Structure 1
Amino acid sequence: MTTTVSPGFTDDERDLVADLYWHAFRRKLRPAFRDDATGRAVVATTLRPDRALVARTDGRVSGVCGYHRGGHGMADVTWAGLRRHVGPLAALRAVLVLLPLRRDERPGALVLDGICVDAGLRGHGIGTALLDAAGSHARAHGLDAVRLTVVDANTRARALYDRVGFRPVGHDSLGPLGPVYGVDRVTTLERRTTP
C-alpha cells in the first residue's frame, strides 16, 4: 500500500470524506439532527476542501484531517447553512447542541477540526502521515504548534497522539451535557512544530 497526503479533496471525493467524518464523529454530532441521514447530509454540504488534508492509499481516500483557519473549520457548519438545509427551528436546535463542541483558533497554533482514518485501514500509518502533514502545514504558515482535542474514552487515538509527540495542555468536561454527546472528558493536546 502506498499512502500520500495532500491538501483538499475533489467534488468526486466529497461523499467519501463526508462518510469518514460522519462515521468518526457521529456520536458527538448526531444529537444535533433529527436522524443520521440529515446529519450526514449537513456534514457533506458543509465540508471545505480548503481546510482539509487528505490521505489517499493506492489512490483512494483513506483518511482526512481538517483544520481551522480564518474563522472556519473543515466542517463549516453555520447558522445560515443549517437554516437553508433543515429550516429555522431545526437549525436553532442544531446550533445550540453543536455550540459546546466548537473549537476556536489559537494564535500560533494550527487547531485541528477532526482527524479520521478509514476503519479498515487503521494501523497502517495513515493517522501518523496526516499528523505529520498537519505539522508541515503549520510550519509552512509560520505556526509553531498543532493543537487538537481528544475524548478521554478514545484510547486508541490518544495512544497515537502520545506516540507522535503530542502533550496535554488542558482538560475539560462537558458536565451535564456529557451524556448528550456520549463524552465525559476531553483533553487538549499540542505538539510543537519547531524544536
Structure 2
Amino acid sequence: MGFHASERQHVGALYWAAFGRKLQVGFPDAARGEAFVTDNLRADRMFVARVDGEVAGVCGFHAGGAGAAALTWRGLRDKFGWTGAIRATVALAPLSRAERDGVLVLDGICVDARRRGRGLGTALLAAAHEHAAGCGDREVQLSVVDTNPRAEALYRRLGYRVVDEGSMGSLGSLYGFRRYKTMRKRVAR
C-alpha cells in the first residue's frame, strides 16, 4: 500500500498516461492537469506494484470520502481560481464514483505499458480484495470504459460481473469513451 514521496512523479506520470485523456477536460491544459493530479495523489489510497524496485502499476481506491487523487474544490480554487475550479468541478463530475457501504470502490487501475501482460493487474486486484476483506467489505467494484476491452477481459476472467452500464452521451468524444460498465466481484472470506 502506498508510494514514497520520491516516487510521486513516476506514479503521477503513470496515472496520467492511463487517465489523462478523460481528466484533462477539467484543466486549462494537459501539463497543468497532470501536475495538479500528480501533486494531489494520495499514497494512502493506492496499492502499488513494483518490479525491480520501480513502480510498475497502481490501483487507487475510495475511502473516507476521497479517492486516489484529492481533487477538492479548495485545492482546485487555490490553483486555478474560481472560474477554473468551477470548470474542473463540472467537467470531472461525470467521472466520479461514489463510495458504497460494504463495497470497496476502485479508482483507476493502471500498469506501465512496458510491463503489461505479466500479472501485475491481477496482483493489484488481489491486493484490493485482501484490503477489502480486512475492512469487512463484501465486494470490490470497478468501472471499465468501452475503449479498454483488454481490461474488461481481465476483469471477467477474474470473476467480475457487470452490475450496471452507462453512457457518456454527447460528452463521449470529450472524454475519449462513449460507454462504461460497472463491475463487481464478491470478496472471498
TM-score range, shorter chain: over 0.9
Q: Structure 1 counterpart of 2:170, which letter?
A: P
User: Which residue pairs with 2:61 in the alignment?
Assistant: 67
How well do the aligned residues superpose, as a CA RMSD in angstroms? 0.9
User: Which residue pairs with 2:114 in the alignment?
Assistant: 120
- SS for the counterpart of 2:63 is coil
Structure 2 counterparts to residues 21-170 of structure 1, below 5 A: 21-170=15-164
User: Which residue pairs with 1:185 in the alignment?
Assistant: 179
State the shift of 1:58 in Å: 1.0
Deviation readout 1:12-71 (Å, 9 max, x if unpaired): 011111011100001111111121110101111111111110111111100000000010
Unaligned stretches of 5+ residues in structure 1? 1-6
- After alignment, is 169-178 or 138-147 more displaced? 169-178
Q: In the aligned structure 2, how far is the partner of 1:28 from the partner of 1:179?
A: 10
Q: In the aligned structure 1, how far is the partner of 2:176 from the partner of 2:68?
A: 22
Aligned residues: 189
User: Which residue pairs with 1:194 in the alignment?
Assistant: 188
Q: In the aligned structure 1, how far is the partner of 2:129 from the partner of 2:188?
A: 9
Unaligned stretches of 5+ residues in structure 2? none
Q: In the aligned structure 1, how far is the partner of 2:42 from the partner of 2:151?
A: 23
User: Which residue pairs with 2:168 in the alignment?
Assistant: 174
User: Which residue pairs with 2:8 in the alignment?
Assistant: 14
After TM superposition, which residue ranges in structure 1, 4 or more long, deviate above 2 angstroms? none
Q: In the aligned structure 2, how far is the partner of 1:101 from the partner of 1:8?
A: 23
Q: In the aligned structure 1, how far is the partner of 2:131 from the partner of 2:188?
A: 12
User: Which residue pairs with 1:3 in the alignment?
Assistant: none
Q: Structure 1 counterpart of 2:58, which letter?
A: V
> Percent identical across equivalent pairs?
53
Q: In the aligned structure 2, how far is the partner of 1:26 from the partner of 1:9?
A: 20
- After alignment, is 83-92 or 58-67 more displaced? 83-92
State the shift of 1:194 in Å: 2.4
Deviation readout 1:76-100 (Å, 9 max, x if unpaired): 1011011112222111111110011
- SS for the counterpart of 2:84 is helix
The TM-score, its normalising length taken from structure 2, stands at 0.97
